[in-house]
Every structure is written in C-alpha cells, then in structure tokens.
Homo-oligomer: A and B are copies of this chain.
Amino acid sequence: MSYDGGYNPYGQGYSAPPGAYPPQNSQVSPDAQQWFNMVDRDRSGKINCEELQAALANGKGQSFSETACKLMISMFDNDASGTIDIYEFEKLFNYINQWLTVFKTYDRDGSGHIDENELQQALTQMGFRFSPEFINFLIKKSDPQGQKEVSVDQFIVLCVQIQRFTEAFRIRDTQQNGTITIGFEDFLTVAIGSSI
C-alpha cells in the first residue's frame, strides 16, 4: 500500500481489529449462535437495535447507548433493514469481542472506563499520533458531563468515527502531506455521510 511509504501524517494509521471481517462462512460458531439466541428475544431470527441494546452492558452496568448499537448494526446490516441475521451477527459478535479485548488492555484497573492517558495509549497503539489537545477534545466530546472517562461503548463510537473520517481524509490527501483542499458540498457529504 503506497500510503505506508514515506512521510505519513497519520502514523501507521488505523485499521479494524484483526478478525473484524472474517471471510463469509455458512458455519456459525456455537458461541455466536448461543449469544444470538439470547439477544433475539422475540425469536424473529433477526436482531434489531433495541434487542442489542438490552443485551450489552458497559462497565457501569448501563446499557450501551442507542448511538453505539445503531452504529454497530449499520456496519453489518448489508441490506439496510435495520436488523441483522445470524451471519451478519457473527461478524458483529467477533467485532465486539475484538474491541472488548482492546479496551480491556487499556482499562488496567478493570473499572469499565478508560481515562485520558489510557485513551492516548490506545490511539497511539492503533498508530495515531494525536496532540494532547486533540485527546482532551475527544474525552470532552465523549463525556460532556466532565467525568473524564470513556466507557466501552463510547470508545467503540469514537474509534469508528476516527476510522471513517480518517479514511475519507486519506482518499482526498493525494499529496500525502496531511492537508486536503475540499469543496463545500464534498465537505458536507463527508461530514454528514460518515457521521453516525
């Protein structure tokens, strides 16, 4: 990938956790099947945002936010039905587990939250070089009530946002110098299209 050569303003760059996109497979793992059956409360064979939300707790014992659940469903909902079937679910299941593993690596005290330092370490590990001001901005954006902590669902939302906007930026950064020139409608398309 040509982007990896020479000066890279984004560091090594972000990529989805390994295993997030396994090859299509008609065999569903027993773990995923069991979890699917638990989450699919109405036995419709499909999982929607509400069912996912009811099944996922963040570190504080609260449900994952609607924002996080909608985002995760939309990432694997190939037919844009607002629901996912067992095959789409298995990919989501792997994806969530990968994020939980990343998150737990940095949540060393097991509090279910990571603080500013831990978030900086996580993003650095993902290959980003962000200024302390930007990390502080991310914390404030995730946690407007000022507790300076990011829960696992907020962490997933942040990482997916950063991933999407970074990809949109890279495509346009033809000089690979970390700046782009962009028109109004294209800017709106990227900003609104990649927002959650």
Q: Do A180 and B181 touch across chains, with their CB atoms under 8 A apart?
A: yes
Q: Do B188 and A178 touch across chains, with their CB atoms under 8 A apart?
A: no
Interface size on A, residues (CB 8 A): 44
A112-145 vs B, Cβ < 8 Å mask (1 yes, 0 no): 0000000000000000001100100110010011
Q: Do B188 and A195 touch across chains, with their CB atoms under 8 A apart?
A: no
Q: Do B180 and A165 touch across chains, with their CB atoms under 8 A apart?
A: no
Q: Do A80 and B187 touch across chains, with their CB atoms under 8 A apart?
A: no
Residue of B nearest to A137 (CB): B189
Residue of B nearest to A188 (CB): B165
Inside 8 A of A161's CB, which chain B residues have their CB? 191-192, 195
- A positions within 8 Å CB-CB of B: 9-10, 65-67, 70, 74, 80-82, 130-131, 134, 137-138, 141, 144-146, 158, 161-162, 165-166, 169, 173, 178-185, 187-196
List, sorted by A's number, 17 A–B pairs whose CB atoms are closer than 8 Å.
Answer: A66-B67, A134-B185, A137-B193, A161-B195, A165-B191, A166-B184, A169-B187, A169-B188, A179-B182, A179-B183, A180-B181, A180-B187, A181-B181, A182-B182, A191-B191, A191-B194, A195-B195
